[in-house]
Amino acid sequence: MSGRPTVEELEKLVEQLQQHNSILSTSLEQSNTELQALQEDHNLLKNRYQKDIEELKKAQITLNKEKEFSQKLLDCLPGIFYLYTYPQLRLIYWNKNHERLLGFTADEIRNRHIMDWHVPGVEPIVQQAVDLVMEKGENVLESPLLHKNGEYVPFLMTGISFDTPEQRYLMGFGIDITDRKRIEYALKESESLFRLLAENSTDIIASHNANGEFVYVSPSCKTLLGYEPKELIGRSAFEFIHPDDKVKIEKSWQNVVEKPAITTFTFRILSKDGPYVWFEAVLKSIFDEATGKLKEIHASSRDITKRKLNEDKLEESETKLTTLFNAMTEMVVIHEVIFDENGNPKDYKIIDCNKAYTAITGIEKKDAIGRLGSEVYQSDIPPYLDEFSKVALTGEAFEYTTYYAPMDKHFIISVVSPGPNKFATITTDITAVHEIQEIIQEKNKELENYLYVASHDLRTPLVNIHGFSQRFQKHIEAISGCIEDCTINSDKSELVKKITSEEIPRTLNFILSNVSKMDGLINGLLQISRTGRIKMTIKKLDMGQLIKSIVSGMNFQLAEIDAKVNIEELPDCYGDNMQLNQMFTNIITNAIKYHDKGRPLVINISGKVRYNKVIYSIHDNGVGIAPRHQKRIWDVFYRVDSSSQITGEGLGLSIAKRIIDKHKGKIWVESEEGVGSTFFIELLNTEFSE
Ligand code: ADP
């Protein structure tokens, strides 16, 4: 088209415009309506979004809280928590304990590779464990983890896999098992120690379950009972126990099964080859600390056959002893010393006594046992406290003879110590013996008097016989001279000559030699009777001095036979100087007289104190005395060899014995023929009267 538009064209255009306009208005109206609708939608949406945003904000807060809660929860866990990316195995999340237990800071931990925590060399094991987690979803691994201080701490870890669409993760939790490991180690140690002890024990060591079945038996059961350990495993110990002992043992067993306990008992157990053997067992039940359930029962059993035998013997001998104790006519009392605050004995308590005690003292057993000596005997200080306590404290036995005035009785009391601070008195009532002894002493005195008188009186006729025999001899000599001068029938003269010059002198010689023998005997008897009659002066004697003076008086004889005398330090004693001098002289003289010519004589003289007594011994290496003579050498006029060239009358030892008797002592000999003799002399080292 070209040039100016026509009206028509314009009208058409206006019409078109109007049409457009109306379309536009309509659409504008529509748009407005739509816009309004849109505005409304917009408002609606805006409201909704605002709500969503608020909710989102709330959700964000909740999420943060939950995250904080989870973190706190993880931090509260007693062990370590970790989250590794997989397969990179880099640590991206952990809890506080991870830092604390292994000593590394958060920066040092972040992104650390899983293998960095493990002991070099175990990587394949760790990798395998990790792969298993990722494959199966979970797995457990026990492995030490590196601590910052360079040490490795044992951990038990539980791993699980966790996947998101973008990434796989390995997370888990580990606990420090140092203590458990230590206990396990100690347990292993003690188990191996137990094994070592059990395997080498001479006792039978066994473990049982609650039913008594053997779980373990040590090899010693083969040697002690004949069973191989494996034949007992699974069998009940009760099968082997003697029927009579079962009830007792079942009771003990029940005790240890119910609660942790230890019990000991003796029983008989069947050995493989038949007989029952006595055993003593100690049972100990082991309970699981965690569950409180019975784990096992340990038994340690020892063969006590020998002990049982000894016990039986002991029981038997105890019964015998008790019977003896009560049947004894001697009173036996066992005491215990009671001390004052300074430790000095102040009294003694009666612990036990026998029947004879009541019979002799009249004190009932029940009134004596458990009571003090001072109460029982009603004296401030109980009788013989010093002497008795000395025995209890030193253990040295002691024996003495005493007169107990309150009972008007004579006793021999032997005191021994059966244990520390204890003493037993064995008391024999010798009142009757004492009375007899007194009578004997009286009679002895009488006899000695008779002996003295008789021997004294016998001497006068003997002196007469001797004198008249000599005179008779002279008369015969005179008659013989006369006969020479007279002329007598030759037959008769020969006979008279023979009688006067041969037979009468021979008879006279015989009479005179018997007179001298009888004189010797009477002298001996006189000596003996004198020994008995001499009044003694008892005093303390320096025995060393006394013996030395005796020996020096014999120096000549000793030198003649080249003899040696050794005198040890001698304790003193009480006695009569003259008489003991005589006694020791007799003994030492005999040692010299009866020395063995084949060896130089050596005499050893020694002495020792035994509580209130002294024992001297005189040992020689002489000819010795055969056992059959040893009892008789103390008899008057007894000589071992009556035809011996050695001078003697068989009086020395009988005089020695009398002297010792008078000193309330003892004398005895121990001798071996061809070897030598030892004479023992026991004297008192306390004052005494005749
Ligand atoms: P005697 O010496 O006078 O014969 P004793 O009474 O002294 O008498 O001794 C009696 C006997 O004991 C003696 O004959 C002698 O055989 C024997 N005898 C005494 N002491 C000893 C001694 N030390 N060694 C050997 N025998 C002895």
Which H or E run contains 477?
Answer: helix 431-485
pLDDT at residue 3 greater than cutoff 70:
no
Distance in Å, CA 653 to ligand 1 centroid: 7
The phi-psi region of residue 436 (left if phi > 0; otherwise alpha if psi is between -120 and 50; otherwise beta) is alpha
Q: Mean of the pLDDT values across residues 611-632?
A: 94
pLDDT at residue 276 greater than cutoff 80:
yes
Report which protein residue has its CA nearest ligand 1's atom 3: 648
Distance in Å, CA 540 to ligand 1 centroid: 29
Q: Which of 629, 633, 678 is the pocket-test mutation for ligand 1 (most atoms within 8 Å of CB)? A: 633
Please answer whether residues 611 and 626 qualify as being in contact, where contact means their C-beta atoms are separated by less than 8 angstroms: no
pLDDT at residue 9 greater than cutoff 70:
yes
- The predicted-structure confidence for 212-232, as pLDDT tens digits, reads as follows 898 888 888 888 888 988 888
Taking the CA of residue 651 as reference, the ligand 1 atom at the shortest distance is 6
Percentage of the chain lying above the pLDDT 70 cut: 98
pLDDT at residue 157 greater than cutoff 80:
yes
Report which protein residue has its CA nearest ligand 1's atom 1: 650
Distance in Å, CA 648 to ligand 1 centroid: 8
Q: What is the pLDDT of residue 446?
A: 83
Ligand 1 neighbours by CB, cut-off 6 Å = 586, 590-591, 593-594, 620, 622-625, 633, 638-640, 648-654, 677
Most confident among 15-19, 105-109, 441-445 (mean pLDDT): 105-109
Q: What is the pLDDT of residue 489?
A: 65
Distance in Å, CA 570 to ligand 1 centroid: 24
Distance in Å, CA 159 to ligand 1 centroid: 111
Q: What whole-number distance in Å separates Cα of residue 469 and Cα of residue 587? A: 38
Which band of pLDDT confidence, cut at 50, 70 and 90, is reported for residue 1? very low
Taking the CA of residue 639 as reference, the ligand 1 atom at the shortest distance is 14
The answer to which of 19-23, 117-121, 354-358, 486-490 has the lowest mean pLDDT is 486-490
Local structure of 43: helix, strand or coil: helix
The whole-chain average pLDDT of the chain stands at 88
Q: What is the pLDDT of residue 487?
A: 66
Q: What whole-number distance in Å separates Cα of residue 94 and Cα of residue 107? A: 12
Distance in Å, CA 666 to ligand 1 centroid: 18
pLDDT at residue 584 greater than cutoff 90:
yes
Report which protein residue has its CA nearest ligand 1's atom 4: 650
Q: What whole-number distance in Å separates Cα of residue 371 and Cα of residue 611? A: 28
In angstroms, the Cα distances linking 677 to 213, 558, 565, 568, 570 are 72, 18, 14, 18, 19
Q: Encode burial over 538-571: b for 16+ CB neighbours within 10 A, e otherwise.
A: beebebbebbeebbeebeeebeeeebebebeebb
Taking the CA of residue 654 as reference, the ligand 1 atom at the shortest distance is 6
Distance in Å, CA 640 to ligand 1 centroid: 7
- The predicted-structure confidence for 415-444, as pLDDT tens digits, reads as follows 999 889 999 999 988 888 888 888 888 888
Taking the CA of residue 676 as reference, the ligand 1 atom at the shortest distance is 24
Taking the CA of residue 586 as reference, the ligand 1 atom at the shortest distance is 7
Distance in Å, CA 662 to ligand 1 centroid: 21
- The predicted-structure confidence for 315-330, as pLDDT tens digits, reads as follows 888 888 888 888 888 8
Taking the CA of residue 591 as reference, the ligand 1 atom at the shortest distance is 23
Here the tokens at position 659 are 């002297």
- The predicted-structure confidence for 65-84, as pLDDT tens digits, reads as follows 888 887 887 888 788 999 99
Distance in Å, CA 590 to ligand 1 centroid: 6
Taking the CA of residue 644 as reference, the ligand 1 atom at the shortest distance is 14
- The predicted-structure confidence for 524-555, as pLDDT tens digits, reads as follows 888 888 888 888 999 999 999 999 999 999 99
pLDDT at residue 2 greater than cutoff 60:
no
Q: Mean of the pLDDT values across residues 664-684?
A: 96
The model's pTM is 0.48
The answer to which of 482-486, 589-593, 594-598 has the lowest mean pLDDT is 482-486
Q: What is the pLDDT of residue 369?
A: 93
In angstroms, the Cα distances linking 533 to 292, 511, 662 are 95, 32, 10
Q: Which of 584, 593, 655, 678 is the pocket-test mutation for ligand 1 (most atoms within 8 Å of CB)? A: 593
Q: Mean of the pLDDT values across residues 359-370?
A: 90
Distance in Å, CA 574 to ligand 1 centroid: 26
Q: How far is CA 237 from the centre of its chain?
A: 32
Taking the CA of residue 624 as reference, the ligand 1 atom at the shortest distance is 25
Q: What whole-number distance in Å separates Cα of residue 606 and Cα of residue 678? A: 11
Here the tokens at position 516 are 């001298």
Here the tokens at position 295 are 């784990």
Q: Which of 527, 589, 590, 657 is the pocket-test mutation for ligand 1 (most atoms within 8 Å of CB)? A: 590
Distance in Å, CA 586 to ligand 1 centroid: 9
Distance in Å, CA 650 to ligand 1 centroid: 7
